[in-house]
Chain A
Amino acid sequence: MDRIKQLAINDEGFVFDPLTGDSFTVNQTGLFILKKLKEGKTEEEILQEITGEFEVSQEEAERDLIDFIEKLRSYRLI
C-alpha cells in the first residue's frame, strides 16, 4: 500500500500521483477510503468506519469497498 502514501490528495477529491504524473478525481466516499488507506488502516477498519460515518448497510459497503480497491489496483495505485 506504499504507493497510496505518495499520492497528493486534496479535500475536494483531486488526486495527483507524482510517480506517473496521472491525476484522478474521487467522490466523497472514495476520498474517505483513500485517506484511510493512506493512514495505513486495514480494510476491516475502513469498513467499520464507513458504516459508522455513512448511512449504508454492512453488506453494500463491503461490496463497494472491495470493488473500489480493485479499481485502485487497475490504476496501479496499490
Chain B
Amino acid sequence: MKKIYEKPVITKLQTGFMNKFGSSPLYARKIRKDIDGVPISELVEKFGSPLFVISEKKLREKFRQIYNAFSTRYPNVQFGWSYKTNYLKAVCAVLHQEGAIAEVVSAFEYEKARNLGIEGKEIIFNGPHKPVEILEVAASEGAKIHIDHFDEITDLEKIAEKLGKQIKVAIRINMDTGIHPQWDRFGFNLETGQALDAVKRIASGGKLVLNGLHCHIGTFILEPEAYGREVEKMVKFAYEVEDNFGFKIEYLDIGGGFPSKNRLKGTYLPPDVAVPPVDEYAEKITESLYSNLRPGDFPKLILETGRAIVDEAEYLITTVFASKRLPDGRKAYIADAGVNLLFTAFWYKFNIEIDREVQGSNEPAVIYGPLCMNIDIIDEGTMLSPLERGTRLIFSPVGAYNNTQWMQFIEYRPNVVMVMEDQTVEVIREKENLSDIEKRERLPERLKIK
C-alpha cells in the first residue's frame, strides 16, 4: 500500500515580521465546486474554458436588494441600467424585467437598447459624445437626454428647430462632495456658476425645456456621506432653477458609483469590512432628500447603479495551463485567461477559488494570463496550495466592465453562459471564431497570397 502523495513544499520561516492575520491556515482555502448548483466540471465540459458564468438568481437578488433599499425609503424611485457596465443582451433583459430603464452613453449603446426593444422614452442618454445624428433620433424618440456641454445645447436647439418642437432635457452637473478625485470633466460645474450659466443659456434659447438634473460623483465610492452632500446640492440647485427660470425639475438622477464587494488593489481590509452596506447609502441619500425637499415635493429619484448590481453575479472559470518557478522562488501559474478577458484586473484583486481539495501547504504564487505580454498578470501575489495542471481557478466578482472592456488580442473571447433560476444553463454569447474577427477585414486583390 503506497502512501498518499502530496506535492513537495518547503517554506522559509519568517521571524521578526508582524502579520496579525497569521499565515494562511487550512480554512483560508477557498473551494468552489459549483455555481448555483451546476458543477464547475460540467460547465467546463460542455462550454469550455475559460468560461464566463453569470448567475440569473444573484443578478435579480442584487437588483432587488439595492432597489428595495431605496424604494422602501422614498416613494418615487427609478433605476437606469448602466449599459457600459455589462451590455450583454441577457443581462440587460433580466434587469429590464426587474424594472430598470436603460442608461446609455454612446450611439452604439443607444442602438443596442433600441434593438433589445426598449423604447426611446425609457432610455437615459448620457455622455460627452452624442453625434448629431443619434442625438436627433434620441430627441425624436423622447429619450431622456442629459446635456454634457454647451456645444450640445447648440446641437439640440438646431434639432428642436428641425423637429419643430421643444425638447425636454436635463443637464449633467459636477460638484465638490468632499471626495477625491473630484469628477469635473463631465457636465457643468456647480460651484463656479457654470451650471447656472447653462440653465440661463437653455432658458434664453427657448427651444429646450429643462426637466431634470443629473450628477455622478465618481466610482467605487466608499463614503456614503458624499451622496448626502450631492443630493443636498442638487436639491438646492433644482429649487434655484425652478424659482428663477420657471422650469419644473421632475427628476434628480444621482448617478451611480456604488461599490461592489470587490477588493481595490492596495486596500488593507477585506471588502466585507471596507464596503458599507447599501442601506447606509440609501439612508444618507433619502435623509438628505427629506431634509432639503419642500413639503409635498417628491421628484423622481433616478439611480444608475451598475457595478453594485452586476459585479458579484458573474464568475470567470479558468484552467491552470502550466506552472513554473520564478527566480525569486515564487510559484507562477499560467491560466488560460488573463487581462484580455479580465480588464478590471488592473484595479481589483479578485477572490480566487479552486475547484478541488488540494493537499500541501499554501505558498506565495503569481497568476499570469496566456498573453505574450509582460503586463498580463491576474494576481501578482496570492497564497495557493500547489496546483496541478488542469486545476480550475474561479475568479469573482467579474460582472462589471469585463464583458464590455475585454479585448480581442491574440485569443478568442470565450463562451458566456447564464445559469438560469431553474439551474438550466444558456449560452448568452457564443465563443468567437476566426470569421468573427476577420469578417470586417478586406485584403486588396494585389496582396493576396497566390
Contact = CB atoms under 8 A, between A and B. Distances in A.
Chains A and B bind each other: yes
B267 interface: no
A24 B6 contact: no
28 contacts: A22-B13, A24-B10, A25-B361, A26-B9, A26-B10, A26-B11, A27-B6, A28-B3, A29-B6, A29-B7, A29-B9, A30-B9, A30-B10, A32-B8, A33-B8, A54-B2, A54-B5, A55-B2, A55-B4, A64-B386, A67-B325, A68-B8, A70-B329, A74-B326, A74-B327, A74-B328, A74-B329, A75-B329
B5 A29 contact: yes
B10 A15 contact: yes
A15 B388 CA distance: 26
Interface in A30-74: 30, 32-34, 52-56, 60-61, 64-65, 67-68, 70-72, 74
Nearest to B329: A74
A10 interface: no
Interface string B320-353: 0001011111010000000000000000000000
Interface in B1-37: 2-13
A74 B2 contact: no
Interface range, B side = 20 to 34
A67 B3 contact: no
Nearest to A23: B13
Nearest to B7: A64
A5 to B, nearest CB: 16
Contacts of B10: 15, 24-26, 30, 34, 68, 71-72, 75
Contacts of A22: 12-13
Given A27-B9, A30-B9, A55 B3 contact: yes
A72 B11 CA distance: 10
B402 to A, nearest CB: 31
Contact of B388 (A60, A68, A72): A60
B179 to A, nearest CB: 43
B360 interface: yes
A64 B2 CA distance: 18
Contacts of B6: 27-29
Given A15-B10, A30-B9, A74 B325 contact: yes
Contact of A75 (B2, B3, B12, B361): B12
Given A60-B388, A67-B325, A74-B328, A26 B13 contact: no
A12 to B, nearest CB: 13
B6 to A, nearest CB: 5
Contacts of B11: 24-26
A72 B4 CA distance: 23
